Structure 1
Amino acid sequence: MARIKFGTGGWRAIIGDEFTRANVRLLAAALATRMQDEGVAGEGIVIGYDRRFLSDVAAEWAAEVFAGYGIPTQVIKMAQAPTPLIMWTVKDRDFPYGMAITASHNPALYNGIKVFTRGGKDADEDVTLDVERRMEALEGAPEADIPSVAYAKAIASGEIQEVNTFNGYIDSIISQINMEAIREAGLKVALDPMFGVSKTSLQTILMTARVDVEVINDRHDTLFGGRLPSPTSHTLQALSRFVVENHCDLGIATDGDADRIGIIDDKGHFLHPNQLLVILYWYLLKYKGWKGAVVRNVATTSLLDDLAAKFGEQAYEVPVGFKWISGKMLETDAIIGGESSGGLTVRGHISGKDGIYAAALLVEMIAVVGKPMSQIYEEITGQFPPHYMAETDFAFDPERKPEILNTLMVEKKLPEFSEPVVRTSYEDGCKVYFEEGWIIARFSGTEPLLRIFCELPSRERAEKCCDEFREFLRL
């Protein structure tokens, strides 16, 4: 069996263990054969990469294989290529497929590959399962049997082209943002790229709107400063202090490949991605006058449902994985979709996560509303019953995974919760709906963790239910 398996956010693996030259070439060959069988090989593919160790080299490994299969290949050659820029390029240039070399917010030991389909969408399960089957069929053959053309030779012959799509991507965002309102607001923003790839894009957009931009943690560091390149309350403490000490209106952080966002408000408080989704949905409905539903995954706040109902709209729940969100958005013409891990997208942009566009939209919102971020959120939540979410991650002995899966998904056993249970869903993990909230236990699709999230009207009740689930599963 092929060792490469796609999770909710592409394929990710430890460098030198499963993330190897052989496996990168194997994945590229599998996708190349799919393109040939679909009759789209002549339309080409675009490849981009982030600043992780081996990302630039791995992009060349993959490009060599596509060239070997006679597929015209464009490699986005720029120092800071956010994943959403790559997705936008797939959409803008109408490529049937695209590829990003990134492990997103995973630890520095990891790298990986995300595959995109026409329109700039995350590859769905039909595509990834087919690619896995093709890798299995190819695995074991001598590496020399995989066609390839040396990178320098393919560049010289034109089989591989190096491109830079930065200007088009930036212009597409600027065209959708109220730049004039931002110019008039006189804002000061702190930016933390988390040693990733968002600095150039965000700085260009914000400075074009005359925002005073201060940047921290922007050097190229494949170890990400020794921390996880994921924007959380823990990892953004330095940004929080910087915002307060320098009297900034907002602090913006993005994960390693800039498809996810983290926000620090004017008081130095971390705003959870759930809060950001609520704020932006409210802004689009109330101030921009948009009409439409919201899409969230099973582990994202139901406050979005309450907000949708207030405006006569609907909220749709889908499994974890952004392909489900983008798919449901297209189906329902929803205006925003997102997940509690920090990814979101808005109708009219790409069908995937874009932390850069989301950041620009939040800056626009502050300028248009004319109030600080801290005050805006308080005003929104004051209209609804309280929603508190407890989030817990548990590492476990890999040998216990079948046992935990059997308990939850086969035997369907549950603890005696202190909250009244209304129903249970097994669409994605085990989600229990209470009279006043919910709890979910599911395995991470990108890391060896069991995640238990619970939302209830108070911190104490939510944390108590998480403890009940943890004790029941002996974690």
Structure 2
Amino acid sequence: MTNNTKSIKFGTDGWRAIIADGFTFNNVRIASHAIGKYVLNNCNRDLPILIGFDPRFLADKFARSCANELISLGLNVEVVSNVVPTPVIAFWAAKSPKKTNGAIQFTASHNPPEYCGLKYITSYGGPAPVEITNEITKYIRAENLDMKGEENNTSIPTFAPKEGYVTHLKKLIDFSKIKNANLKIVYDPMFGAGNNYLDYILKEAGCETVTIHNKKDPLFGGLLPEPKEEFLNELKKCVTENKANMGLATDGDADRISAVDRDGMFYSPNKIASMLLRHLVKNKKLKGKVVRTLSTTHLMDHLAKKYNLELIETQVGFKWICEKMLKESVLIGAEESGGISIINHIPDKDAILAGMLLTEMLAFENKTLGEIYKDTLNDANWNCINDKFDLHMDEKQKEILISRLQSANIQKFGDLQIESINKIEGAKYLLKDGSWFLARASGTEPMARVYFEATSEKSLKLMKSEIQRIVESIL
């Protein structure tokens, strides 16, 4: 049969679209068929493909449709028995007692509630690299897809992934240390897949745990399921009212994290990653390379230097960190948007792991998040201010902005000298005082993103003024 497949755009984070618009049952079967063809041609067809889903509207039904399509190709599948976080099914894809052909997760992560998505996870537990997604896309674009799976009534094998994942975390996290600390933690899964996972594990570790936004709500309470400060007012309030040690928030599929201290102060992923790097080295006595993306804080660089660890910078996106984790001994990989993973874990972001590491850190230090962050800055002998904003632009305007920044002959901002310009992705200006900014075009939205890190308010103001001047000349 002939299918209209142009709306299915398959990248390393999979394919996301609006439910009943681009994300339809027919298109799900097409994408599933294409993944099945890839597996048949490149993998051991006898190994199962795992299938999971988050709490989004119809995600469980899409997962079953996918399973039927793969079964019709003669492939073995196992579907989760309930909602599962993306990092948990990624863990099972890589570290299941029996080998797998990877996993397919139905999630749109932190996208608005009208979206759903499909992500193919490799058998090593990381996002599919471009060579795999290109081959899947080739099958999607094929003219004749013999899809037969819709009416398959075969009983589909299921599995419960929680306990195996918890057992693995107990090898990475000192649960006894946490139990002795008598911590109270408030958790906000943001109506997402982390519910009954991170809070369950916190209780297993002996924490008094309060969970909010833990009912099933495909509309995510009317907010984006993204742990940005603007969406965490109820978490802040609950932490202070309950006199908790910390609040944790995860996004829709529990692969991104942020935190709140006992006074309701927000802690960004940049601060979290830096504190966890210090924790891994000073408290857990671990070593390895430190990998961060272009947009992530250079506080990690100063800490790596202090601890005599190699620092590697990658392009934006955890897929680039994944590549390094597969080839190198990486202690921690982190991105500004909240993705973190560590040595001896999967090469993809995991907010549940990050939340437990933060809890373990509190237990080791017997201090507040604020005190630990001050210690982190002291270790680095450095301080910084971070900011970010989005510029709504069409494709042409984005192209002009990046081109101008890459080619501009700017020597300094005010009296601040420019040291270098990194053009690997967008334009990243590094100033001699250690400040920097990065402007890059979003690959999925009509906007450019600008990230700032400054060593002083003066540097931040000068960088923002320069960007504003260039933007005004374009718009």
Q: Fold-level match, TM-score > 0.5?
A: yes
- Tell me what 1:366 maps to: 362
| Runs of 4+ that moved beyond 6 A | none
Relative contact order (alpha carbons < 8 A, sep ≥ 6): 1 or 2 greater? 1
- Tell me what 1:267 maps to: 263
Q: How far 1:203 moved relative to its partner?
A: 2.1
- Tell me what 1:82 maps to: 85
Compared CA separation, residues 15 and 458, structure 1 to 2 (3 A): farther
In 2, Cα distance between equivalents of 1:227 and 1:390 = 22
Q: How far 1:437 moved relative to its partner?
A: 2.3
Q: How far 1:123 moved relative to its partner?
A: 0.7
Q: How far 1:7 moved relative to its partner?
A: 4.3
Superposed CA RMSD: 1.9
Do 2:435 and 2:459's aligned partners in 1 also have CA atoms closer than 8 Å? no
**1:258-290 CA distance string (max 9 Å, x none):** 111110012211101000000000011111111
Query: Bigger CA drift: 380-389 or 103-112?
Result: 380-389
- Tell me what 2:217 maps to: 221
Structure 1 residue 288 corresponds to structure 2 residue 277: no
Q: How far 1:149 moved relative to its partner?
A: 5.4
**1:201-245 CA distance string (max 9 Å, x none):** 122211122211011111111111111110011111111111112
Q: Which among 203, 206, 224 is matched to residue 202 of structure 2?
A: 206
- Tell me what 1:16 maps to: 20
Q: How far 1:350 moved relative to its partner?
A: 1.4
Identity of counterpart residues, as a percentage? 34
Compared CA separation, residues 349 and 244, structure 1 to 2 (3 A): same
Q: Secondary structure at the match of 2:135?
A: helix
- Tell me what 1:433 maps to: 430
In 1, Cα distance between equivalents of 2:258 and 2:340 = 11
The within-5 A match list for 1:327-342 is: 327-342=323-338
- Tell me what 2:100 maps to: 95
- Tell me what 1:110 maps to: 115
Compared CA separation, residues 404 and 248, structure 1 to 2 (3 A): same
Do 2:185 and 2:208's aligned partners in 1 also have CA atoms closer than 8 Å? yes
TM-score (norm 2): 0.93
In 2, Cα distance between equivalents of 1:368 and 1:112 = 39
TM-score (norm 1): 0.93
**1:347-401 CA distance string (max 9 Å, x none):** 11111111111111111111111111111111211342221111101223xxx30
Do 1:82 and 1:198's aligned partners in 2 also have CA atoms closer than 8 Å? yes
Q: How far 1:332 moved relative to its partner?
A: 2.2
Unaligned runs of 5+ in 1: none
Q: Secondary structure at the match of 1:220?
A: coil
Q: How far 1:115 moved relative to its partner?
A: 1.1
**1:152-197 CA distance string (max 9 Å, x none):** x221xxxx31211211111111232111111111110101110012
Question: Aligned AA for 1:296?
Answer: R
Do 2:80 and 2:160's aligned partners in 1 also have CA atoms closer than 8 Å? yes
Do 2:247 and 2:259's aligned partners in 1 also have CA atoms closer than 8 Å? yes
- Tell me what 1:70 maps to: 74
- Tell me what 1:385 maps to: 382
Aligned residues: 462
Q: Which among 131, 139, 163 is matched to residue 134 of structure 1?
A: 139
Question: Aligned AA for 1:402?
Answer: K
Question: Aligned AA for 1:175?
Answer: K
Q: Secondary structure at the match of 1:234?
A: helix
Q: How far 1:133 moved relative to its partner?
A: 2.0
In 1, Cα distance between equivalents of 2:465 and 2:16 = 30
Do 2:429 and 2:438's aligned partners in 1 also have CA atoms closer than 8 Å? yes
Compared CA separation, residues 207 and 22, structure 1 to 2 (3 A): same
In 1, Cα distance between equivalents of 2:43 and 2:358 = 42
In 2, Cα distance between equivalents of 1:460 and 1:19 = 47
Question: Aligned AA for 1:88?
Answer: F
In 2, Cα distance between equivalents of 1:235 and 1:464 = 29
Q: Secondary structure at the match of 1:402?
A: helix
**1:8-53 CA distance string (max 9 Å, x none):** 5322222222212222111111111111111422222111000011
Compared CA separation, residues 219 and 459, structure 1 to 2 (3 A): farther
Unaligned runs of 5+ in 2: none
Q: How far 1:447 moved relative to its partner?
A: 3.6
Q: Secondary structure at the match of 1:393?
A: strand
In 2, Cα distance between equivalents of 1:45 and 1:448 = 35
Question: Aligned AA for 1:300?
Answer: T
Compared CA separation, residues 222 and 313, structure 1 to 2 (3 A): same
Q: How far 1:251 moved relative to its partner?
A: 0.2
- Tell me what 1:36 maps to: 40
Do 2:437 and 2:452's aligned partners in 1 also have CA atoms closer than 8 Å? yes
Compared CA separation, residues 98 and 353, structure 1 to 2 (3 A): same
In 1, Cα distance between equivalents of 2:466 and 2:30 = 44
Q: How far 1:333 moved relative to its partner?
A: 0.4
Q: Which among 403, 417, 433 is matched to residue 420 of structure 1?
A: 417
Compared CA separation, residues 8 and 42, structure 1 to 2 (3 A): closer
In 1, Cα distance between equivalents of 2:81 and 2:32 = 19
In 2, Cα distance between equivalents of 1:24 and 1:332 = 35
**1:83-110 CA distance string (max 9 Å, x none):** 1111011012321221110010111121
In 2, Cα distance between equivalents of 1:43 and 1:7 = 24
In 1, Cα distance between equivalents of 2:464 and 2:136 = 37
- Tell me what 1:58 maps to: 62
Do 1:9 and 1:446's aligned partners in 2 also have CA atoms closer than 8 Å? no
Q: How far 1:406 moved relative to its partner?
A: 4.8
Compared CA separation, residues 164 and 405, structure 1 to 2 (3 A): same
- Tell me what 1:123 maps to: 128
Compared CA separation, residues 463 and 56, structure 1 to 2 (3 A): farther
